[in-house]
């Protein structure tokens, strides 16, 4: 399995499905399911029964996972969704870069 090209706090754009074209920040990566949770995207409403943890109950809004294959990284320079590559710098560290403009994403 290839390593995922996204990680927490990345800005991404959704390329397929209900939230297509929207952008957001990754809150969590779920590697075992190849999914990501993106802030304020793919919101689902859940009816919550009253219980000691949530108090009164009611409708709770929550981000549902999005498949990693349906998101692309946003490049701050291109201002769009781009393909990313990985390159190794002279000091040996691996960084992700934008394949379109060559901008290094990991600073």
Q: How far apart are CA 12 and CA 71, in angstroms?
A: 6
Two structure tokens written together for 82: 């781009």
* Residues 6 or more apart whose Cβ sits within 8 Å of residue 88: 94, 95
Binding of Zn ion at residue 75 (CB under 5 A)?
yes
Binding of Zn ion at residue 104 (CB under 5 A)?
no
Using CB under 5 A as the binding rule, the residues of this chain from 78 to 97 that contact Zn ion are: 78
Binding of Zn ion at residue 29 (CB under 5 A)?
no
Question: Of the candidates 98, 104, 106, 107, which one interacts with Zn ion according to CB under 5 A?
Answer: 98
Q: Are the beta carbons of 63 and 41 closer than 8 angstroms?
A: yes
User: Residues 33-72: x/- map of binding to Zn ion (CB under 5 A)?
Assistant: ----------------------------------------
Binding of Zn ion at residue 25 (CB under 5 A)?
no
Candidates 75, 71, 70; CA nearest to 101 is 75
Question: Of the candidates 62, 101, 104, 106, which one interacts with Zn ion according to CB under 5 A?
Answer: 101
* Residues 6 or more apart whose Cβ sits within 8 Å of residue 56: 50
Residues that bind Zn ion (CB under 5 A): 75, 77-78, 98, 100-101, 103
């Amino acid at each position: 399995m290839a390593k995922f090209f996204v990680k927490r706090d990345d800005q991404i754009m959704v390329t397929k499905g209900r939230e297509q074209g929207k952008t957001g920040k990754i809150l969590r990566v779920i590697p075992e399911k190849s999914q990501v949770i993106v802030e304020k995207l793919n919101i689902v409403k859940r009816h919550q029964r009253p219980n000691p943890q949530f108090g009164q109950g009611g409708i709770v809004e929550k981000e549902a996972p999005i498949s990693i294959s349906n998101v692309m990284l946003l490049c701050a320079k291109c201002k769009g969704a781009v393909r990313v590559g990985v390159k190794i710098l002279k000091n040996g560290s691996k960084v992700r870069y934008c394949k379109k403009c060559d901008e290094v994403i990991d600073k």
